[in-house]
Amino acid sequence: MKDTSEEIEKQTESLLNKFNLWRRDHISERQFILLLSLVVGIFTAFAALLLKYLISLIHGFVSGHLFISQENYSLLIYPIIGILLSGLFIRYIVRDDIGHGVTKILYALSKKNGRIKPHNMYSSVIASALTIGMGGSVGAESPIVLTGSAIGSNIGRMFKMEHRTLMLLVGCGSAGAIAGIFKAPIAGLVFVLEVLMFDLSMGSLLPLLVSSVTAATISYVFTGTDSMFHFASAHDFNLSRIPFALLLGVTCGMVSLYFSQMMHWFETWFKRFQSPWIKFVVGAVVLSILIFLFPSLYGEGYDTISLLLDVNEDSGKVMGGSLFYGGNLLLYLGLVVLTKVFASTATNAGGGCGGIFAPSLFLGCLTGFIFGELMNRLSPGSDISVQNFALFGMAGLMSGVMHAPLTGVFLIAELTGGYSMFLPLMMVSIMSYLTIRLFQPHSIYSMRLAQKGELMTHHKDQSVLLLMSMDNLIEKEFLTVRPDMDLGQLVNIIARSKRNLFPVLDDDGCLVGVVNMESIRNIMFRQELYHRFNVQKLMELPPARLSVKDTMDTVMKKFDETGAWNLPVEDEDGKYLGFVSKSKIFNSYRSVLLELSEE
């Protein structure tokens, strides 16, 4: 059986090699990239449809066969089963961390040249379907974005595309995933440019558009052309309400800051537990209790959003099944806003798999609704449409949490059909983004990588340095000497060397100094001194030392601070590895910059 599978693999590889040779002679590179972007769009659309179907299927099974009661005591157990099954699948079948999907894509773009593991093409779909279908308080969008990116990456690798094209196909997969699951092609494109931080060029714009439009079209064919949420404004936006919209933007920015910081803190708190079973128990307890108290936290929360956006629905229905039913609606919604971050974090930390797209939309809708109601009560003459402000709040939270104001505007407009509200949507999104930027320079996705110096940004110099590898820059042809060698022995080694630097190593292979040929030129030809001086007296300390783990940004700072042209590199144990030269860095920088700039 093993021989048969290996034979099939060899035959497939042979056919792909033949096809790659043929298409290089008959299809231009740009045409082939467009063709691949079309294929990526098709596959990501069906992946999104499959994920939505699985979530609906599991949720329907739970609702129809497990006897959910009016008192919702059963909600204590279903989410626990979901994160348990998801955790077991990840731990024993996938055997890899698949959480923080968008962060993983950013890391793949920054440090792995767009390479994403093949199992990500299906693992996130299965794990998130189990988590969300059983009531986990997260969203399906980040997992499907990782799935789409993995599809783009592995299709590109299958056809031996260079890493610049591979990174573009990762973006195509992300754009197609957003467009497919939300039926929002413009939002898919803008998401890639804002969140994944792609540089916009004509060479990258068209493939991204092809993937987005293809995925959205397939989604329309199978699910209809209706918007994801029904929104019919009872009131047009009046210019006199601009101050309220700006104030809502600031409010959304502060709620986004609370959500991001508390999620980061709670995730860090969970890391104290080494055992996955302890994490599961703690996460399960937190999640089930919160959902029991606030049933609106169950699942993605889209039912709650639909209720609050519909002017014809009784908004009090969102408290249905809770202990607060018949009580103060604003108090209930406010408590849900405060506790949603704990429910979402507990879901993922306990073993589940999900993203923060849906939580952001959910929180934004509640924040906008609460804000509109409060303004109407505090200023009775304002006559604010709470449905309109719930819509604006969705864009504001999306903008603040993801640091993506355009994504917030276009996604909400496409999700709800609220195109007539572009002006206030933009106002709220921009104010939310500006507010959170005062306190937090990176989005919830990128802050983990930024803290490690592993984040690619729109800053071209920083991105080029990030793509450069220390391993490729270390020069190892320097001849080494020992501290106890005399000048005569040193001169013999100098005669055989093509470099003017000589690292001095002790018996453990650690660097203790450097001999610079320029410093001993005046005595190296005086034979009477050959046995009088030893390397210990002639060596000098290097102006700085580099670690193999240093980022290129750190390396360049050390070169700038010391003014040196060559600096030694050590491994994690302090052992000498070689030298890095400034000229080698400049040559590598030019090569990477040219590769990034080609279209």
At residue 599, the pLDDT reads 43
Instruction: Evaluate whether the domain defined by 17-223 bears CATH number 3.30.460.10.
Output: no
Report the distance separating Cα 431 and Cα 245, nearest Å: 9
Distance CA 205, CA 155 (A): 19
CATH of domain 239-458: 1.10.3080.10
Task: List all residues 6 or more positions away from 28 whose beta carbon is below 8 Å from its beta carbon.
Answer: none
What confidence score (pLDDT) does residue 5 get?
59
Tell me if 17-223 shares its fold with 239-458. Answer: yes
Do strands 501-505 and 511-516 pair parallel, antiparallel, or not at all (unpaired)? antiparallel
- Which residues in the chain show pLDDT less than 50? 66-71, 454-455, 457-458, 460, 597-599
> What is the separation of C-alpha 180 from the centre of its chain, rounded to a whole number of angstroms?
19
- CA 342 to CA 287: how far, in whole Å? 8
DSSP string, 508-570: TSBEEEEEEHHHHTTTTT-GGGTTT-BHHHH-B--S--EETT--HHHHHHHHHHH--SEEEEE
Nearest of 168, 82, 177, 66 to residue 120 by alpha carbon: 177
Give the homologous superfamily in CATH for domain 462-597.
CBS-domain (3.10.580.10)
Query: What token pair was written down for 164?
Result: 């610049």
Q: Which residue has the tokens 């079309």?
A: 38
Q: What is the pLDDT of residues 281-308, one digit of tens each?
A: 999 999 988 988 888 898 888 888 888 8
Our CA angle for 454, 460, 464, nearest 5°, is 55
Q: What is the pTM of this model?
A: 0.76
Shortest CA distance to 211 belongs to which of 168, 241, 269, 248?
168
Contact 75, 288 (CB under 8 A): yes
Q: Any bridge partners for residue 513, and if so which?
A: 504
Q: Structural domain boundaries of the chain?
A: 17-223, 239-458, 462-597
Please give the C-alpha separations between residue 216 and each of 354, 356, 411, 443, in angstroms, as whole numbers.
22, 21, 13, 26
Q: Residue 383: which region, alpha, beta or left (left: phi > 0; alpha: psi -120 to 50)? A: left
For residue 457, the model assigns a pLDDT of 47
